[in-house]
Structure 1
């Protein structure tokens, strides 16, 4: 089974970089010929994507729902602890199932992945 780590850095709504990264992750889960072991680690402004209770205007994409879909598909989603703390994000403010992780955890994920994508 291929193991893929996606590390995202960009804010959820300032550009479409994170949106497209999540689209790729969802497509890999849904359309892979063989099972894929994915992990998603959010850093920098991307941690805000895990904020619970997001409300987006009609007809726009919803980053929070995309993260919830990945979680439902069994994809672990972790936030950089330092980045989350700098932005006031605590476990009670994030989407259920998202974990606050550390660079040590990211290092382990990196070392145990076949492919690492920085988006």
Structure 2
């Protein structure tokens, strides 16, 4: 089984970088010929993508919904603790099942992954 770590840094709605990263993650889950082990680690401004209760009536996509689909598919989603704390985020403010991670954990995920994608 191929292990893939995706690390995202961009804000959820300031550009479409995170949106496209999540589209790629969803497509990999759906179209992989063999099962993959995917993990998503959000850093910098990407951490705010995990805030629950997002309302995006004027946009054609909702980052919260995309993350919830990945979580339902068993994809672990972690936030950089330092980045999240700098933005006032804690577990009570984020989507259920999103975890707060550390740089040490990210290091372990990186070393264990067959492929690492930074977006």
- Relative to the length of structure 2, the TM-score reads 0.98
Q: How large is the RMSD of aligned CA atoms in angstroms?
A: 0.7
Structure 1: runs of 5+ lacking an equivalent: none
> For 2:58 and 2:69, how far apart are their aligned partners in 1?
19
Partner of 1:44: 44
Partner of 2:102: 102
State the Cα deviation string for residues 8-60 of structure 1 (Å, max 9, x = none). 00000000000000000000001100001000000000000000000001452
Give structure 1 regions of 4+ aligned residues with deviation exceeding 6 angstroms: none
Partner of 2:9: 9
Partner of 1:56: 56
> For 1:57 and 1:39, how far apart are their aligned partners in 2?
29
Structure 2: runs of 5+ lacking an equivalent: none
How many residues align? The count is 119
